[in-house]
Amino acid sequence: MKKDKVIIFDTTLRDGEQTPGASLNANEKLKIALQLETLGVDVIEAGFPRTSPGDLDAVKTVSKHVKKPIICGLARATKRDIDDAYLALKKAARARIHVFLATSSIHRKYKLNKAKDEILKASVDAVKYARKKISDIEFSPEDASRTEPDFLAEVVEAVIAAGARTVNIPDTVGYAVPGEFGSLIRYLNENVSNIGKAVISVHCHNDLGLGVSNSLEAVLNGARQIECTINGLGERAGNAALEEVIMAVKMRKDIFKGITTGIITKELYKTSKLVAKLTGINPQPNKAIVGENAFSHESGIHQDGVMKKRVTYEIIRPQDVGFSGSKIVLGKLSGRHAVSARLKKLGYFLSDKELDQAFARFKTLADKKAEIYDEDLATIVEDDLATVTEEYKLVNFQVTSCNKVDPLATVDLKKNKKLLSATATGDGPVDACFKTIDKAIGQKGKLVDYRINAVTSGKDALGEASVKVSFGKKIVMGRGSSTDVIEASVRAYINAVNRLSAKATKAKKKTSKK
Ligand code: KIV
Ligand code: ZN
């Protein structure tokens, strides 16, 4: 490993999946992992196998099919966790077990009820146990940034001696500020005698909005692995966003002298879109690098400046992160071959079955919309890739709405071969449809968030609806697209219902394993 290459450890599939409302099945994780491989990440943390049979299965699937990056599984410092991680990673070409145990006084006292020497011993024992199984072991002293620095150094030194090749310093609760976090990394570099035998990694959360800044400061102080996620997903306010870290290092070579990464930046936008689609969580429009407004210039002065010389107001060429200008590509008369060729150009290499499905949706769309843009095509393909098992399928819906009486909706769904039909009224046509779906499935959902976005411009634009629905304590996301916003909303709600039932199936499997 070149000394100044920063290893990019992507944890979208593990910490990113801990984003409230995000949940990915094995198939969805595989799709993202394959794209992360294309993006050029060095390590993919594919999950936390001990937490559920579904996650163990997902890590197994990723290990079997994704061969270039190291595949990593998370484990607490217990034999059972390590055994499950090892089991999940068996088929990986290159595997890593990531063991963690909290070291801070707050976690020792309130969470673990353990003294320092017990934490030290448990950490060393876990690393030694994992090392007997595979050689690539990473250790994280959880809540490192709130741990006494001398104790942290003691733990880091001990786990390296026990065989950890990577020591990851998490700012678990996003409490650190850049100067302080950089100093902590420097302190470890200077005070851990065997630090040269391991790579220092950082894992920064974004509770103060400083995840990316802290990660960058750590690199300037000797860290050579960054743990991050696509779109900055992750527990609570999320993790450092991969795309922001990468572009900062790339754009500011004057500061990050000699630092390289293996990331192919042209793949960033596509990766972001795929993750948004499959998790159901869209980055906000003003999100750096991948937000829809990241390269839009609104004010006349700025537009004028950019037209005269791009660098006046644009530091990154949109194409360098994979944004493409919207082009008219296809229409009603375009054939399967043309659609397939265009999809390949956009980076979607589909199986025959997937192409059949995409082409059928393309034809339906082309009947309603004269010009099909790249973004439309990407949306319908990614919709199909949102592979949550469709327990409930939309057969038909109808809604009547006027300004005098409450709108009335009728929805027909299919569950296996059974037809479920219901009729209900609501506060508006969308509400009426959602209430009708609730009635048909026999569960009551509460709409927490609802958004409609136009994928492209024009009256016949494809609309993409996203919903966040709570069913009791469970919150699920859903997405759907159509040229008709009500149909897009209905599809999004049904997608959320399907995610809910996929979760229930996962939980059932977990209970039956016990
Ligand atoms: O935030 C954290 O501390 C973690 C660890 C498991 C690395 O996610
Ligand atoms: Zn974390």
Topology of domain 392-513, CATH? Double Stranded RNA Binding Domain (3.30.160)
Ligand 1 atom 3 nearest Cα: 172
- For 69-113, how does the pLDDT look when each residue is reduced to its tens digit (9 = 90+)? 999 999 999 999 999 999 999 999 999 999 999 999 999 999 999
| Nearest-angstrom CA–CA distance, 446 and 427 | 14
**Ligand 1 atom closest to residue 205's alpha carbon, by position in its atom list:** 1
| Nearest-angstrom CA–CA distance, 491 and 484 | 11
pLDDT the model gives residue 19: 85
Domain residue ranges of the chain, discontinuous segments joined by +: 7-279, 298-384, 392-513
pLDDT the model gives residue 44: 98
Cα-to-centroid distance, 170 and ligand 2 (Å): 7
Pocket residue to mutate for ligand 1, from 142, 166, 169, most atoms within 8 A of Cβ: 142
Q: Is 48 in the pocket of ligand 1 (CB under 6 A)?
A: no
**Ligand 1 atom closest to residue 14's alpha carbon, by position in its atom list:** 8
pLDDT the model gives residue 1: 42
Query: Which of 40, 60, 33 is CA-nearest to residue 49?
Result: 60
Cα-to-centroid distance, 116 and ligand 2 (Å): 22
In order along the chain (514 residues), what is the average pLDDT of each group of 10 residues?
84 93 86 97 98 94 98 98 98 98 98 98 98 98 98 98 98 98 98 98 98 98 98 97 98 96 96 90 92 78 75 88 72 87 83 90 86 82 70 94 91 94 95 97 93 76 86 84 91 91 72 61
Cα-to-centroid distance, 306 and ligand 2 (Å): 39
Q: 369-399 burial, b for 16+ CB within 10 Å, e for fewer? A: bebbbbbbbbbbbbbebbbbebbbebeebeb
Ligand 1 atom 1 nearest Cα: 172
CATH node for 7-279: 3.20.20.70
Ligand 1 atom 5 nearest Cα: 142
Q: Is 170 in the pocket of ligand 1 (CB under 6 A)?
A: yes
| Nearest-angstrom CA–CA distance, 77 and 361 | 48
pLDDT the model gives residue 506: 66
Q: What's the pTM value of the predicted model, to 2 decimals?
A: 0.80
Identical fold, 7-279 and 392-513 = no
Ligand 1 atom 2 nearest Cα: 172
The percent of residues above 90 in pLDDT, for the chain, comes to: 66
pLDDT the model gives residue 183: 98
Cα-to-centroid distance, 47 and ligand 1 (Å): 12
Query: Which of 17, 127, 7, 124 is CA-nearest to residue 62?
Result: 17
Contact (CB, 8 A) for 482 and 494? no
pLDDT the model gives residue 216: 98
